[in-house]
A and B are shown apart, each in its own frame.
Chain A
Amino acid sequence: MMATPATTLSASVDSADTSARAYKLLPFRFERWTEQEVLLVNDVGDFLFLDARSFEALIGHRLAPTSADYRNLKAKLFLSDGDPTVPIELLATRYRTQKSFLSGFTALHLFVITLRCDHSCPYCQVSRVKESGTRWDMSRETAERAIELMFRSPAQSLKVEIQGGEPLLNFDLIRFIVERVIDRNRTEGRRIEFVIATNLAPLDDEMLTYMKERSILLSTSLDGPAPLHDANRPRPGRDSHSLVEKNLGRARAELGHDRISALMTTTERSLAQPEAIVDEYVRLGFDSIFLRSISPYGFAVRTGAAARYQAASFLDFYRVALDRIIDWNRKGTAIREVFAQILLTKMMTPFPTHYVDLQSPGGAGIGAVAYNYDGEVYASDEARMLAEMGDLSFRLGNVHRDSYEQIFGGEKLRSLVAHSVLESLPGCNRCAFLPFCGGDPIFHHRTQGDVIGHRPTSAFCAKNMGVLRHLFGQLRSGDPFIIDLFTSWATGFPFPGLDEMPT
């Protein structure tokens, strides 16, 4: 709920005298946490828990200035009892910082360089085809045009993510794109990062040498222990997991241990084994795991997998997996959960996260864009998958036919952005979790037939609310280890613990 700022104005009095002052509420939202407690969150994500009775007093303008609650609310910019210019100025600076992703515009550029793949995963978010021929490959001309469009973006940092299909099956084009971008950047001077999203199966030494030369990052898929992984990710020979494990070792030896990260997709099969999945990531030496739910695109919907489990069962899975991760940390093995890390950064730091899926306005098109193998430009990878299913709603244009202005300044993208501003979306606008969440009109278009959507039945909303509630609950539990651990995830700095005593 959004609290309505009071209309009564305070009288200006001696600043040292707090007893005689009226106060104004500064903008915040709240959530009844329990019968006895209310969670208050302001526009920049500062939060505090307040006793329900104090909360009633606060909004009734009856809170005693001498109380500890009053002081904390004031210091955290929930109320103002003097000239409100200063707290509003502080909030404005913070708000600008958190929305700074907007000024950079599109930073993440996805190049879908082939639809060919050697895997036939039932949840695949991309149409798979048999691995031969060039019918499903991106052409050099298309890649060139896409690169030109990318450099039109004002972003100082550009991330080139090369994906497929399985992009290593079209390695010549990877070289072409990387060289072209580096060459173009000699006059552009941007910070460029290359990532290849690959299942690692076709990896060979020549590729590794090139990746090392060009400091390319790898992102692979790992769904859990071999039986689960191989069931989720079938491949002729049923050897996907052993190939990942083998090539992971080679790639780490050649490129460096931290140059390869992994993503996991949760399937119905995964739901029963959260701990085994976490343990497998630990066994393979990963220091992070991203517990992602299945998304309702591509083959996932055709096979009906997404419908089979509700957000609730994902949340059960998530909580158990997160507990396991915390246990590993307690035992001295550092591993973090990336989704929690993103949310905790929003909750516990004054800095933005640049994670395009949790932004308001949403990141589609203005944070990330996908260039398909055939030259079509989509507002996101999900928009591209929708198109593969015949829904062209979020196709922004074509690299050959349309100009940068038409693609990135056109009505389609403007409308998409307008429909992803949480502050104006029904259900979101009053939600206490708004500062931590993001807009996803493409998801709601797909699942509810409407870009605005209906929050009470939205799986996106249920999942994010559920995870946020769980994280707030963990912080509220007061377990010092969890608080320190979450702090280190949020800030990216190790906690200066007792083990680091000076000598």
Chain B
Amino acid sequence: MSLRLQTQGHASSTLRANILGRIALVPTETEVRAETVLLLRAGEADLDLDLDLEGYAGILTTGDEPISRAATPTISRARYLDHLSAGDIVVLQPTGGVRTLFRPASPHNSIFTTDRCNSYCVMCSQPPRRIDDSERIVEHLRLIELIAHGAPCDIPRELGITGGEPTLLGDDLLRIVERCRDLLPTTALHILSNGRLFYYGDFARRLGEIEHPDLMIGVPLYSDLDFEHDRVVQAPGAFDQTLIGLQNLGRYDVPVEIRVVLHRMTIERLLPTAEFIYRNLPFAAHIALMGLEPIGLAVKNLDALWIDPRDYGETLQAATLYLAARGLQVSIYNHPLCAVPRILWRYCRRSISDWKNEYLEACSDCAVRDRCGGFFASAVERRGLLRIQANPIRDLE
């Protein structure tokens, strides 16, 4: 079952703009209340008239508005709050929406920087929207602050920066990286970008000059041929920009990861693409060969894209071993072990974010289930159409 990351309730009139805060299940000291959203169970709010609710960033309850809430922004009569834990960071919206932005318990936290993108990939899982959301930078910086002020054990080991296309934030992206460097120096920062704007060497140089201690830019490359890559990202000239961008990042010592999403339009040239990466981008710190997530535009283009991973095992093996034999760090993402040749298991990672990661019934008696990455929830949902199936492993000789 995938995890719930939002809920809806009724916003008080004092909730006029988005408010970020860290969930607390019990009343807190006065000093930290400005960063805290106090979660009250139904009943707690109504019955205890003496609750001191002064100074909190917000109040969140399944019950009615507490009488003693004073002017504190509140979302009441929330449909569901069981998914929230102490330490989670949420945003309370004037519409009554409550979205989870950060969960200390998860290894997969990201800052979703923008809905905008300058590419339009045929398999995009989160199709971009043409809106001006540049003012959200304030919330992103606030989120970093809140994460940093959390309990020491809640400081994440890794934090993603994603979108849309984060580089469209321009200087604001650099501010995010700087803020992370200053406030979260022990957190690895992983930015997902199409790399096109690093074509401008100055931008790459300024990113490098921030000298974030543990930064990686994950950049997709879908082919060794410009027109094939451009066809996937539906943006003429993108291949050239991305390649120069990668070179610039390399030049300014910003570690890069190359990501190849495997589908019908990319699988044919996977091996030549691996060769191209080794020859021209040997400084890549990591190469991720990724299974397709059947959601967003990928669903719309499913006929042109979908290929059963079991049908490209040989190609995947050739490309993976080609890279590994040359000392490059290579990982296979988003593939259940039973769909991958056994020689490649060591390269498979449990990469699907926990909130959208599922297994099939048949997986329950599989000998390697606990180290298998499983399936995308969106694939399981379409299991009939995609003919998804699990082949439980029983022999482990």
Contact = CB atoms under 8 A, between A and B. Distances in A.
Interface of A: 14-18, 46, 71-72, 74-76, 82-83, 85-86, 89-90, 93-94, 349-351, 484, 487-488, 491-493, 495-496, 498, 500-503
B343 A501 contact: yes
B325 A488 contact: yes
A interface majority secondary structure? loop
A493 B236 contact: no
A502 B327 contact: no
Contacts of B231: 16
Interface stretch (B24-32, B164-172, B222-230): B222-230
A85 B116 CA distance: 28
B327 A493 contact: yes
A74 B343 CA distance: 32
13 contacts: A15-B227, A15-B239, A74-B225, A76-B279, A86-B239, A86-B240, A86-B244, A94-B279, A351-B282, A493-B327, A496-B324, A500-B346, A502-B342
Contacts of B327: 491-493
Given A493-B325, A493-B327, A503-B396, A350 B278 contact: yes
Categorize the interface residue count of chain B. Answer: 20 to 34
A93 B247 contact: yes
B126 to A, nearest CB: 24
A487 B325 contact: yes
Contacts of B240: 82-83, 85-86
A90 B345 CA distance: 33
Q: Which 10 A-B pairs have the closest CB atoms?
A: A75-B224, A15-B236, A493-B327, A86-B240, A496-B324, A502-B346, A502-B345, A491-B326, A495-B325, A90-B280
A458 B280 CA distance: 35
A349 B282 CA distance: 9
Given A15-B230, A498-B343, 6 more contacts: A16-B230, A71-B225, A71-B269, A75-B225, A93-B247, A350-B280
B107 interface: no
Contacts of A74: 225
B325 A89 contact: no
A94 B280 contact: yes
Nearest to A71: B225
B200 interface: no
B226 A82 contact: yes
Nearest to B251: A93
Contacts of A349: 278, 282, 326
B272 A72 contact: yes
Nearest to B345: A502
Contacts of A487: 325-326
A72 B273 CA distance: 10
A79 B29 CA distance: 69
Given A14-B236, A15-B230, A75-B276, A90 B282 contact: no
Contacts of A503: 396
Interface of B: 224-227, 230-231, 236-237, 239-240, 243-244, 247, 269, 272, 275-276, 278-280, 282, 321, 324-327, 342-343, 345-346, 396
A76 B247 CA distance: 17
Contacts of A484: 325
Nearest to B322: A487
Contact of B282 (A17, A76, A350): A350
Residue among B224, B237, B325, B396 having the largest count of chain A Cβ atoms under 10 Å:
B325
A21 to B, nearest CB: 9
A93 B231 CA distance: 26
B173 to A, nearest CB: 24
A492 B325 CA distance: 9
A72 B271 CA distance: 11
A502 B393 CA distance: 14
A180 B125 CA distance: 63
Contacts of A498: 343
Contacts of A89: 243-244, 247
Contacts of B247: 89-90, 93
Contacts of A83: 240
Contacts of B342: 501-502
A496 B280 contact: no
A491 B224 CA distance: 22
A236 B59 CA distance: 96
A14 B240 CA distance: 14
A474 B101 CA distance: 57
Contact of B272 (A16, A75, A82, A492): A75
B369 to A, nearest CB: 15
Contacts of A94: 279-280
Given A82-B240, A90-B243, A491-B326, A18 B282 contact: no
Nearest to B320: A496
Nearest to A21: B227
A86 B396 contact: no
A49 to B, nearest CB: 15
Nearest to B371: A502
B393 to A, nearest CB: 12
A249 B32 CA distance: 69
Contact of A496 (B224, B239, B279, B321): B321
A46 B342 CA distance: 32
A84 to B, nearest CB: 10
A491 B325 contact: yes
A86 B226 CA distance: 10
Nearest to B199: A86
B325 A496 contact: yes
A115 B156 CA distance: 64
Nearest to B247: A93
Contacts of A76: 279
Contacts of B343: 496, 498, 501
Given A74-B225, A90-B247, A492-B327, A16 B236 contact: yes
Residue among A74, A90, A349 having the largest count of chain B Cβ atoms under 10 Å:
A90
B32 to A, nearest CB: 47
A18 to B, nearest CB: 6
Contacts of A82: 226, 240
Contacts of B346: 500, 502
